Structure 1
Amino acid sequence: MAARAWFILGLVVAPVVFASLLEGGAAAARPPSMTQQQRQQVQSLLRRLNKPPVATIQSPDGDIIDCVHISKQPAFDHPLLKNHTIQMRPFSYPRDLHNGSNIAPQPITQPWHQNGRCPENTIPIRRTKEEDVLRASSISMFGKKRPGSILNHNSLEQSVTSGHEWATASSSGDRYYGTKATFNLWQPNIERSGDFSLTQLWIIKGSYSGNDLNTIEAGWQVYPGMYGDRNPRLFIYWTRDAYNHTGCYNLCSGFVQTNNQIAIGGSLSPVSTYGGTQYEFSILIWKDQQGGNWWLQVGGYVLGYWPSSLFTYLADSASRVDWGGEVASNPNAGQTATQMGSGHFPVEWFGKASYIRNIQLVNPSNYLQSPSGVSTVQQRNCYNVQNYVDSNWGTYIFYGGPGRNPNCP
């Protein structure tokens, strides 16, 4: 590959102006016929999600960040974690086959950092507002993905994958204990407020057919229907029953955060520009061999973990790992022009197309290694992916596309 002029994402943050994308403003999102009972349900959910803060920070992008005592975080609302003892740090880290060292720190700054930091023994939580809940299709679906939010490699039945389009690489058939990759950061255009565009990794075991699909997911997404803006945001997700009942975005229940520096669900900036400076950050997820929990590291920060007790199959290991982009839209509205990645196809290459580089897997010996075989899946005329291997970037992909275009009507 030709020499590249790229900038590792320290995510030095410029102020981001918050703009509500609710049609007609926040008031328009409130159904005129909402009953008193429904209003009470919304307020009850907000009380459950928004824990009493030790301190509160107003972010320049419009978010409110609550610094909540680590023992009061939403994870412990989950019935499986009622008596959970917090593990403040992992017992072990995966070893890098290339240099024998851990991941080099890459400091990440988010907009709310301009106005303060959370104290020790607290974690930053993006406050959920009433309008956030009202944008969801229902109170019960707030913070959740729709079933069919991961590509079913065994069957492409429309009943499962309708409304979702992918450009991903995948490694499967072995026992995996985590993955690490470096993600290029963009701000794709979202055509409809109900669409989302994301770039992420998936750690997977189980199936749709048995309603026992287990996943751990992390990456960045632009999702007006969830956050009320079009900023790229750090997100996580998990499920153990194919997205039917369990699991949720970010910190609603399950993930135990131990770090007071990074708000999961918070905005990330600056973003890459077409033909200009490229920004990136790394994500590492691994299963702690001694403790058994699945830990998350973003840049140089170890953020916390998914307790192994949340899962069935992933309580042991994963059998498949995916990396790439996904766009979701209303399947009844026709092909969306929501962009994936930079909105440009992989053939345009570095500085114009989005990439994920240095893709590695954690093997049973707790070493990071390049995948031995990678397959790709894409909606070729709407979004595309190409995978490569070289000595500088290891295993990597370029991916993305514009969505609706003359070849993808």
Structure 2
Amino acid sequence: MFRLTLLRRAIALCLFFHAIEIRGIQLSSTTQEEPTSFAQASAYGQVKQNYISMKSTIIVAAASGQDSGSWDQTYFAVHETSSGGPNDNYYGLQATTGVYGHKLKPRQLTSTFITVTHSGDGVKSSFNAIQVGWHIHPENYGDSRPHFYTYWTRDGYDATGCFNMNCPGFIRASGSLVAPGDVIKSNSGVHEPVQNVTLKVLKDKTSGDWWVYYGFNGNPTGVGYFPRSLFTYLAQKANGMAFGAFVIADKTLPTPPMGSGAHPNGGQGRAASFTNLRFIDQDGRSNPMTTDWPKLVTSNKCHSITPIDRAGCLYGGPGGCVR
């Protein structure tokens, strides 16, 4: 039950942001401040209970497998496409990002991710998503090391979906040298050489399955796939994508570092980055991102993300926020 309560709170927060949008305040490449608590967000969320926005994917892994009513601090920094329109057709996303080590306590989590989604028919239970990234999640793994992870849902994180291979869904490719949930053994520090992972999610044109690719300091190779039959709307295409990071903590603890732990104004070499950001089309061809995407940031005081420039951006922050 812990997991479901946190998910519902996260979804309520997302609904709040959508309620803001439909009232005429557009989310552009500027910062939007989060309500002061999930309780307030829940109240605003009642405005649009029958719609789940793409923003839910920002906090989905905040789903973190835990469901504690006291995990009240969630901060995120993300770029996302618009989603839900009839002409929003997406078939894959690729990004390269550094992996960093931090000493986290139970009930703290830090995650960097890419995601593909479909908002369905507007009802929460029709929302589909696949998320891939790296995170440090002591509550889930019993350690404070970075892990490669996957997450999925086809009903708005209500009853379906899980991390990695903790439930039926993800199928590991024969011969794959890595599996979802594996430790990323080499990680970076602010003053150390950056170790990079390249993440890719794409819809196979022939099978319709969603393949996950992973590469450590090199080109990504196939790890496995989410069968087309696992989903409803994502069986055809995605109508939204996003990438970024989030941190979450028990209300009694400070928020952990995001990315390298340095603010983007620390510059390349200190702040964490996304590079080689690429769209993947229906035929599997990839093209670099040449335009900026809308930005959603909880609080620039704690964590932030820069505009997309030359298929890349900087993100992160030291954490230490306490509400």
> What residue ranges of structure 1 are gaps of 5+ in the alignment?
1-136
Matched, 1:257 2:177: no
Matched AA of 1:158: A
Partner of 1:224: 138
Structure 1 CA distance for aligned equivalents of residues 223 and 142 of structure 2: 25
Partner of 2:41: 158
Structure 2 CA distance for aligned equivalents of residues 149 and 247 of structure 1: 15
Structure 1 CA distance for aligned equivalents of residues 202 and 211 of structure 2: 5
Percentage identity across paired residues of the two chains: 26
Partner of 1:170: 80
Larger gyration radius, structure 1 or structure 2: 1
CA separation of 1:145 and 1:266: change in aligned 2, threshold 3 A: farther
Partner of 1:375: 294
Matched, 1:361 2:279: yes
Alpha-carbon distance, 1:148 to partner: 5.2
Matched, 1:146 2:7: yes
Q: How does 1:52-71 map to 2 (within 5 A)?
A: none
Structure 2 CA distance for aligned equivalents of residues 383 and 334 of structure 1: 19
Q: Tell me if the contact between 1:171 and 1:373 (Cα under 8 Å) persists in the aligned partners.
A: no
CA RMSD of aligned residues (A): 2.5
User: Matched residue pairs, number?
Assistant: 261
Q: Tell me if the contact between 1:147 and 1:242 (Cα under 8 Å) persists in the aligned partners.
A: no
Structure 2 CA distance for aligned equivalents of residues 396 and 145 of structure 1: 31
Q: Tell me if the contact between 2:292 and 2:309 (Cα under 8 Å) persists in the aligned partners.
A: no
Matched AA of 1:206: S
Alpha-carbon distance, 1:351 to partner: 2.0
Structure 1 CA distance for aligned equivalents of residues 246 and 232 of structure 2: 25
Alpha-carbon distance, 1:334 to partner: 5.5
Alpha-carbon distance, 1:149 to partner: 5.1
TM-score, normalised via structure 2 length: 0.74
Alpha-carbon distance, 1:209 to partner: 4.9
Matched AA of 1:297: Y
CA separation of 1:335 and 1:228: change in aligned 2, threshold 3 A: closer
Deviations 1:235-287 (A, max 9, x none): 00100111111000001220011144113211112111212211101111110
Structure 2 CA distance for aligned equivalents of residues 397 and 356 of structure 1: 5
Q: 2:225 aligns with which of 274, 290, 305?
A: 305
Alpha-carbon distance, 1:366 to partner: 3.3
Q: Tell me if the contact between 1:188 and 1:341 (Cα under 8 Å) persists in the aligned partners.
A: no
Partner of 2:254: 336
Matched AA of 1:201: I
Structure 2 CA distance for aligned equivalents of residues 357 and 345 of structure 1: 17
Alpha-carbon distance, 1:335 to partner: 6.8
Which stretches of structure 1, 4 residues or more, deviate above 6 A after TM superposition? none
Matched AA of 1:195: Q
Alpha-carbon distance, 1:194 to partner: 1.2
Partner of 1:50: none
Q: Tell me if the contact between 2:111 and 2:247 (Cα under 8 Å) persists in the aligned partners.
A: yes
Alpha-carbon distance, 1:319 to partner: 1.2
Structure 1 CA distance for aligned equivalents of residues 124 and 190 of structure 2: 43
Structure 2 CA distance for aligned equivalents of residues 368 and 149 of structure 1: 32
Alpha-carbon distance, 1:145 to partner: 7.4
